[in-house]
Amino acid sequence: MADSSSAAPPWRFWRWKLHWQILLGMVLGILIGYSMARWAIATGGVRGASNVLEHNWLRLLCKTGGEMFLNALKLIVIPLVTSSITLAISVIASRQGFARLGTKSLVYFLSTTLLAVLLGLAFVNWIQPGFTGAEPLLTQEKAKQIQETFAVESQRLAASAALHDERSGETLFAKVLGVFKSLVPANPVKAAADMDLLGLIVIALFFGYFMSRLAGPVRETLQNFWQGVNDISLMFTQFVLQLAPLGIAMLLAHTIMDNYVSLAAEDRVADLVGALWKFGLTAAVALAIHLFVVLPLIFYTITGIGPQRLFKALMPALFTAFSTSSSNATLSVTIDCVEKNAGVSRQTAGFVLPLGATVNMNGTALYECVAAMFIVQLFGYQLDFAAQFLVVLIALLTSIGVAGVPSASLVAIIIILNSVSKQLGPGIDLTAGLAILMILDRPLDMFRTAVNVFGDAVGAILIAKTENEPLFQKSP
């Protein structure tokens, strides 16, 4: 007897597989957002379109629904990360495999992130999107005008960057030490409230390790508690995923409305916007090559499995990452795909993926490098090898400490630009040009988040392969 789901008419989209439902939601969200933005421009003009949309009921509905969906995903992150890491380490440590698994993970993370940064550096030096003529496209005066357009965003980023770079004379060595300092949070409750996953992961690592050293009823009680937290987190993930197509549609509709109107309002800096589109293309192509060529090639070389099976297994996670621009919010979906579709064990997925969502930012590191070099080019500067090596090094280090939330990489770019400004000489402030990146930041954030999540998932599968786990035993 034929499967009733396969015999269902195509118009019954609720019977489709999840990744196709999410894709449908993305398409509908883009169409609604674009249509509303065009309507707002036609009604209020280019300058008044933002005011027309500000109190529009459909925009407010999409904004509220999208934020509720994003918050629901984020709600799962803390219990899922802590329970997954604790359970994974409690099992791995008892088998004497913790050091081996940790070493493999870190080697993979550093290697692929370094490849991503070098790829971005090669593309931005080849295409040179910031150079379009003999005269620099950006001066300190023009940069200040653009900053005024994005005054609120600029102030927010400056405040965020101050948390990472409190002393103007802070050295690169001090920044590296700052990353290690963040590994030990003074207050785990505050770390959870601030979504400081790096600190929480360290706490969970130690908790799981020492839990493996317990015996008798105490260990059994703790094991059952964390197992219950993990099971409930995964059940909640499944519930939220049922709402993913609708939530993603609303999230994208709101994003397209606001960003399209912002782009349309920038016709007074046409030359800069032209260079910005060239930069966007440079970053997108470099990210696409890392996503569709570099990582699949590494995957095929080690596993011998065709990349098409990999993409099919990870489609829901990729679509969710692209739509939410948050690797943390996508973490529960990624774990679900890697375990159910790729066949990775819960111990390996529970250890590698939360750690990767915090420290393995392939797309972010690549984007930081391209964006920083683009700003430097806009001001008309050519960096020598030593200065470009500094950009690569800081991009590699800051990508580890950047939170997996939308636009967090802009804070890291400020740190890179501050360091390069000091190298170029006194009186130079490259961070003044950062505001221009905000015009295209959201769509590029969607691309780089998808690369981040894909890199984490590939890492988990490859490490499972080296642990001789059976992979892809069933079709996703």
Averaged pLDDT, 284-291: 95
* 151-160 residue pLDDT tens: 445 555 555 4
DSSP-derived secondary structure for 184-200: S-S-HHHHHHTT-HHHH
**Residue 177 is which amino acid?**
L
* Chain center to CA of 291: 13
* 225-239 residue pLDDT tens: 998 988 888 788 778
Domains and CATH numbers, the chain: 17-466 (1.10.3860.10)
Residue 8: what pLDDT? 53
DSSP-derived secondary structure for 151-181: HHHHHHHHHHHHHH--STT--HHHHHHHHHH
Contact 352, 466 (CB under 8 A): no
Contact 342, 313 (CB under 8 A): yes
Position with higher pLDDT, 1 vs 35: 35
Residue 282: what pLDDT? 94
Averaged pLDDT, 262-274: 58
pLDDT class of 249 with cuts at 50, 70, 90: confident
Q: Which range has highest mean pLDDT (191-205, 248-262, 328-342)? A: 328-342
Residue 285: what pLDDT? 95
* 28-51 residue pLDDT tens: 988 998 898 889 888 887 777 778
Question: Would you say residue 298 has pLDDT above 90?
Answer: yes
Residue 452: what pLDDT? 93
Question: Would you say residue 402 has pLDDT above 80?
Answer: no
Question: Would you say residue 418 has pLDDT above 60?
Answer: yes
* 440-453 residue pLDDT tens: 777 788 899 999 99
Count Cβ atoms below 10 Å from residue 322 Cβ, excluding itself: 22
The DSSP output letter for 293 is I
Position with higher pLDDT, 388 vs 176: 388
